[in-house]
Chains A and B, each alone.
Chain A
Amino acid sequence: MKKRLTLTFPRSTVQFPITYRLAKDFNIAANIIRAQVAPDRVGKLAVELQGDIDAIDAAIEWMRNLEIEISSANGEIIIDENLCVECGLCTGVCPTQALTLDPQSFHLKFARNRCIVCEQCVPSCPVEAITTNI
């Protein structure tokens, strides 16, 4: 199965090779979607874990013991329909075609399941209609 998580590392565990341990000890492929890590700072990692369901549960338990804060609220982009002018500029930078323009109506469509929360659309929006909840 796949599970998307946001991990918050206390300063003490930032130097821990977390994705290596996930792969070696739990046989979990950790796909990093977004990361904000610096030495001696609180770090954030948005990852998609792929592996056996029991292994993922065990890995979450193990990370909690390391005082890594785990939030399973899926990070996603939010489009404010009151601000969006449906220009479609974001569709040109979206790498997974989660954001597209309907070929007939030219209304903006967002396919949540295709979004990898790379956030390239956020600064591309000229009217600041896109934000993330990560």
Chain B
Amino acid sequence: MRTIAEINDKIHRGQVVAWTVEELKAQVADIGITQAFKTVDVICTGTFEPMESSGAIINLGHTDPPIKIRQCWFDGVPAYAGFGAVDIYLGATAIAESHDSNDLRDQLRINSQRGGGHVIEDLIAGKAVSFKALGQATDCYPRASFENTITKDSINQFYLFNPRNLYQNFIVGVNGSDRQLSTYLGTLQPELGNAVYSNPGAISPLLNDPELKIVGIGTKIWLGGGVGYIAWEGTQHFPLQKRLPNRTPIGPAATVALIGDAKGMSAQWVRGCYFRNYGSSLMLGVGVPIPVLEESVIRDCAVRDGDIVAPVIDFSIPRRVRPTFGLVSYAQLKSGRLVIDGKKVRVAPLASIAFSRQIAEELKQEITTGKFTLTEPVAMLSRDRSFIPQDPRGSSVSLED
């Protein structure tokens, strides 16, 4: 048994043993679970994938005369201002609007590739961004409009606050129709032309703590190259997803809300991105340390790509429940080839496995050099949250009475 306090003490003394999750998996195959448990203190996991349910809280600072911002745009990308006078939330998937047209359909038709994710990346990179705001003139805040050029150094708070990140497993997208589809997994070619998976599998943080026994609210993490924390359960958190005997879920399951100071992040790990005919998003690097408190942690982290599965989903039917071609393992997915319905299908990842590994390595370096210490969770994440669909009131017909 170990405690987090003991591990932190070792970190301070420069005696901690940290392994990346892949080193751990290799060591377990070599020396076994018990010996690995005796040796290692912290296991470092990482992922780099699109996480569109992300965004930044920004406090602009007060203008003179002051303004109560009701509508605003960063480089033409609209942000939410329906709270404190100069508090703003810039969402990763907001897309740049054309100011020439008042018709939203026209604005969306311009097919803008620049979105909130790109603005967040630019601010983190230290670039200047144009800012435009309209205010509600009141006795406290008489100003009706404001324009400026801002950087991360000319605003107060600038932190990522992401409602849903770090999916514990996800899906594999394919297209069984006869036309090309533009999706959040990128282009899906007709007649099962390709398949895309977006979770890095056995190296993914939450797949190494399948029952959320270690990671909880308050867990300190590596977020975009800086420091972040798990703030809450994520939206659509669904720990009750069906699971294999090794407790890993067979599809999208747990999620977490993350928070972290964007001023301390690096644009290397926070990238605006765009999926053609789908929209803008944010690719984000997250590293999660898993303290080896007991031997079961090693057993959970030893899980391999062959032991984790994801459902192959046909995107050709745009409904909430889409048809599936069954389950495939991450070992099959990472081979780059699948056989679906007797047809050979090319498989591509959307999570960057190379970057995910680099993040686990970065976190390991920070821990072993004493720069990153661990925290105890202050509360555990819910393990029995169900997943409620949204249906019009009265739409379900009761077959009883």
A-B complex is real: yes
Stretch in A28-36, A53-61, A63-71, A88-96 touching the partner: A88-96
Q: How far is the CB of B340 from chain A (nearest CB, A)?
A: 14
Known: A92-B196, A126-B50. A103 touches B352 (CB 8 A): no
Give chain B's interface residues, CB within 8 Å of chain A. 48-50, 113, 186-187, 189, 194-196, 271-276, 281, 283, 334-336, 346-355, 357
Complex CA gap A89/B351 in Å reads 9
Complex CA gap A88/B185 in Å reads 12
What would be 5 A-B contacts, judged by CB atoms less than 8 Å apart? A85-B355, A87-B350, A88-B348, A100-B336, A103-B335
Q: Is the CB of A106 within 8 A of B357?
A: yes
Complex CA gap A126/B272 in Å reads 8
> Which residues of chain A are within 8 angstroms of B357 by Cβ–Cβ distance?
106
Complex CA gap A101/B49 in Å reads 16
* Seed contacts A87-B49, A91-B336, A101-B353; 6 additional CB < 8 Å A-B pairs: A87-B48, A87-B350, A92-B196, A93-B187, A106-B354, A127-B272
Q: How far is the CB of B185 from chain A (nearest CB, A)?
A: 8
Q: Is the CB of B276 within 8 A of A89?
A: no
Q: Is the CB of B351 within 8 A of A87?
A: yes
Complex CA gap A90/B351 in Å reads 12
* Interface residue? A107 (CB, 8 A): yes
Q: Is the CB of B195 within 8 A of A92?
A: yes
Complex CA gap A128/B114 in Å reads 11
Q: Is the CB of A92 within 8 A of B50?
A: no
Q: Is the CB of A89 within 8 A of B350?
A: yes
Q: Is the CB of B354 within 8 A of A107?
A: yes
> Which residues of chain A are within 8 angstroms of B281 by Cβ–Cβ distance?
126
Complex CA gap A89/B48 in Å reads 13
Q: Is the CB of A87 within 8 A of B195?
A: no
Complex CA gap A123/B275 in Å reads 8
Counting contact residues on chain A (CB < 8 A from B), the size range is: 20 to 34
Complex CA gap A26/B346 in Å reads 39
Chain A 10-30 interface 0/1 with B at a Cβ cutoff of 8 Å (1 = within):
000000000000000000000
> Which residues of chain A are within 8 angstroms of B335 by Cβ–Cβ distance?
103
Q: Is the CB of B283 within 8 A of A127?
A: yes
Per CB-CB distance, the 3 closest pairs between chain A and chain B, nearest first, are A92-B348, A126-B273, A106-B353
Which of A88, A93, A100 touches B189 (beta carbons < 8 Å)? A93
Complex CA gap A93/B187 in Å reads 8
Complex CA gap A105/B354 in Å reads 7
* Interface residue? A86 (CB, 8 A): yes
Q: Is the CB of A89 within 8 A of B348?
A: yes
Q: Is the CB of B354 within 8 A of A127?
A: no
Known: A93-B187, A106-B357. A123 touches B352 (CB 8 A): no
* Interface residue? A131 (CB, 8 A): no
Complex CA gap A86/B355 in Å reads 7
Chain A 99-124 interface 0/1 with B at a Cβ cutoff of 8 Å (1 = within):
01101011110000000000000011
Q: How far is the CB of A97 from chain B (nearest CB, A)?
A: 8
Closest to B198 in A: A87
Q: Is the CB of B274 within 8 A of A89?
A: no
Complex CA gap A43/B216 in Å reads 61
Q: How far is the CB of B116 from chain A (nearest CB, A)?
A: 15
> Which residues of chain B are within 8 angstroms of A103 by Cβ–Cβ distance?
334-336
Q: Is the CB of B349 within 8 A of A101?
A: yes
Known: A85-B352, A92-B346, A93-B194. A127 touches B336 (CB 8 A): no
Closest to B113 in A: A128
Which of A86, A93, A100, A124 touches B352 (beta carbons < 8 Å)? A86
Q: Is the CB of A127 within 8 A of B273?
A: yes
Complex CA gap A21/B80 in Å reads 61
Q: How far is the CB of B251 from chain A (nearest CB, A)?
A: 21
Q: How far is the CB of A118 from chain B (nearest CB, A)?
A: 13
